[in-house]
Amino acid sequence: MSSPVERAQEPNPDLEAAAPADDLVHRLEQLNSIGASLSAERDINRLLESILTAAKVVTRADGGTLYRVTEEGTLRFEIMRTTSLKFYLGGTSGNPIPFYPIQLKDAQGRPNHGMVAAYAALTGKTVNIEDAYTQQGFDFSGTRNFDKKTGYRSKSFLTVPMKNHENEIIGVLQLINAEGARPGEIGAFSHSDQRLAESLASQAAIALTNRMLINQLEELFESLINMLNTAIDEKSPYTGGHCQRVPTLTMMLAEAAHEAAEGPLAEFRMSDRDRYELKIAGLLHDCGKVTTPVHVVDKATKLETIYDRIHLVDTRFEVLKRDAEIAALREQAALTARSAPQSERDAAEARWRERLRLLDEDRAFLRTCNVGGEAMRDADIERVQRIAQYRWTDVAGKDAAFLSDDESKNLIIRAGTLTPEERKIINNHIVSTINMLEALPWPKHLRNVPEYAGGHHERMDGKGYPKGLTREQMSVQARIMGIADIFEALSAKDRPYKRGKTLTESLEILGKFRLNGHIDPDLFEIFVRRKVYQRYADEYMSKDQIDAVDESKVPGYLP
């Protein structure tokens, strides 16, 4: 003789009166359509909500709950819906579910067969109950309490385990109160309802498992990207923050362009996949810097390599001053030996002191040149070259030029701290980025990552690098990244060779870039008009950098 639990699963022949064929066909068509839509859903919460909503539709249930099996051995309430009560909890509703998870086993490790949802999860069997109030074998005290508080009458239950492709139970779908023969009447779930629900639960479990696997792979992929950026950060603290901030600013500007209702970018729109593709490109836009030598990336002064060689130059000045002092003392001794007049001795001392003063001035001048803060004038370059011709006795006791050819070459850099060769090394990071990204087997939805990431140093007038692309040859996404890369670099406060510019200063320079054909004019207009710069500043710039911006004075922008 079967148990009450087993009998609850046996379809009632009286309920199996054949439904109209066209109704069943219609519900099968719904099931097929639902299966396709479930496979396309990317968001887990919306997917779970779609599963429960679909189950309610195909079985014509008034209410339902979707549970997920946790690693802790419980069933967690994910979504609860009851149409007649307008009862919406979990998922995208924003209303948290206040119920504790259902334990699958008790403290002694015994299976919890008393709760119908736990029973379905533990046994993998569907439970179809005509009336919970008369059903024996399961604990429905919680259901009765709910009904008492709400005035609801929970009657028929259809509880279906969700098995994935590996036959693992990953969740439970529970439907409540099937639609009866007459309006407002509660009926039992028929055998066809059960089969439809089981079919849907199977499709849903596979869709959910696939989405979770994809999410895990995407999470792993992004973790690997972040690990790469962390490696760049450890290698150079002056670029790691850049690798994190540029993607954020890129997405801010992309969303502003997406929302444009008029103008040249009114037709630019992004799907969730487009957003993810651009986000990945942003995170990887400087991955090639992992190949750039640290002494070039972190070159804070003109003479810096592994260390700042200005201190060697300081030592040579001390040697010249020491030599000048020795020469002065020898001259004084000679003058004293021949009883020279005091005026001669005073003149010799004055010449010595003047020599010390000139050496101190030259040393201060070279230290200023080494900083690279302002553009060098022709007169400054000539002065460096003159100082380079000083002679000194090196550690080997040989007469040598005061500055080596390499030191002179670095100290006469007109702007910044990099020589042309070092600038070429820095610029090559984008070539390395493109080569690295193009070597990867990108899936279809990420195939534009190399183009987006590799175009952020191109210019609208074709004078950028590495390919010399023009505006027409570039995607909107690559042009967006170009603006984000420049603005972040201008406002960044963690560079070793400059201070972070204020909002006004950054926008002024960016506006000049717009006028000289460097950046996209339409995106620049959105960047300013939609105040993307302000949202970014509030999140990443220091308070002392955030000044009041007068947009009417931003070059290339018409308020």
Q: Does pLDDT of 233 surpass 50?
A: yes
Predicted pLDDT of residue 301: 81
**Which amino acid belongs to residue 50?**
S
What pLDDT is recorded for position 299?
A: 76
- What pTM did the predictor assign? 0.67
| 28-47 confidence digits (pLDDT tens) | 566 556 655 666 667 778 88
- pLDDT at 11 (0 to 100): 46
Query: What pLDDT digit, counting tens, does each position of 304-316 carry?
Result: 887 788 999 999 9
The whole-number average pLDDT for the span 352-379 is: 89
Arithmetic mean of pLDDT, 206-228: 86
pLDDT band at 18 (very low <50, low <70, confident <90, very high): very low
More confident residue, 48 or 13: 48
**pLDDT in the model for residue 15:** 39
Q: What local confidence, expressed as pLDDT, does residue 32 receive?
A: 59
Is 1.10.8.60 the CATH number for 236-296+421-553? Answer: no
Query: Residue 14 pLDDT > 50, yes or no?
Result: no
pLDDT value at residue 45:
81
Q: What is the pLDDT confidence band of residue 7, given thresholds at 50, 70 and 90?
A: very low
**Confidence tier at 164 by pLDDT (50, 70, 90):** confident
Q: What percent of the chain has pLDDT over 70?
A: 90
Choose the weakest-confidence range: 220-229, 274-283, 437-446. 220-229
Per CATH, 4-213 and 236-296+421-553 having the same topology is answered: no
pLDDT at 379 over 90: yes
Instruction: Say whether pLDDT at 161 is over 50.
Output: yes
Contact assessment for residue 44 and residue 74, using Cβ atoms and an 8 Å cutoff: no
Tens of pLDDT, residue by residue over 321-363, are 998 999 999 999 999 998 889 999 999 999 999 999 999 999 9
pLDDT tens digit sequence for 404-418:
999 999 898 888 888
User: Which residue from 316, 299, 291 is spatially nearest to 401, judged by alpha carbons?
Assistant: 316
Mean pLDDT value of segment 247-263: 96
Instruction: Provide the angle, in degrees to the nearest 10, between the axes of the packed helices 532-540 and 237-258.
Output: 150
Torsional class of 73: left (φ above 0), alpha (ψ -120 to 50), beta (otherwise): left
**CA trace torsion 536, 541, 547, 551 (10° rounding):** -30
SS3 of residue 346 by DSSP: helix
Q: CATH number of 4-213: 3.40.50.300, 3.30.40.230, 3.30.450.40, 3.40.50.150? A: 3.30.450.40
Q: For the chain, what is the mean pLDDT? A: 87
The type of residue at 323 is: D
* pLDDT exceeds 90 at position 215: no
User: Is the predicted pLDDT of residue 4 greater than 70, yes or no?
Assistant: no
What confidence tens digit (pLDDT) does each residue in 276-291 have? 999 999 999 988 888 8
Q: Which of 126-140, 410-424, 454-468, 480-494 has the lowest mean pLDDT?
A: 410-424
Q: Please, what's the b/e burial string for 410-427 (b: 16 or more CB within 10 A of its CB; e: otherwise)?
A: bbbbeeebbbeebeebee
Name the token pair of 168.
Answer: 């693992």
Tell me the pLDDT band of 2, cut-offs 50, 70 and 90. Answer: very low
Confidence at residue 493, expressed as pLDDT on a 0 to 100 scale: 77
Domain ranges of the chain: 4-213, 236-296+421-553, 310-417
Q: Is the dihedral of CA 255, 261, 264, 269 positive or negative?
A: positive
Phi, psi of 78, deg, nearest 5 = -105, -50
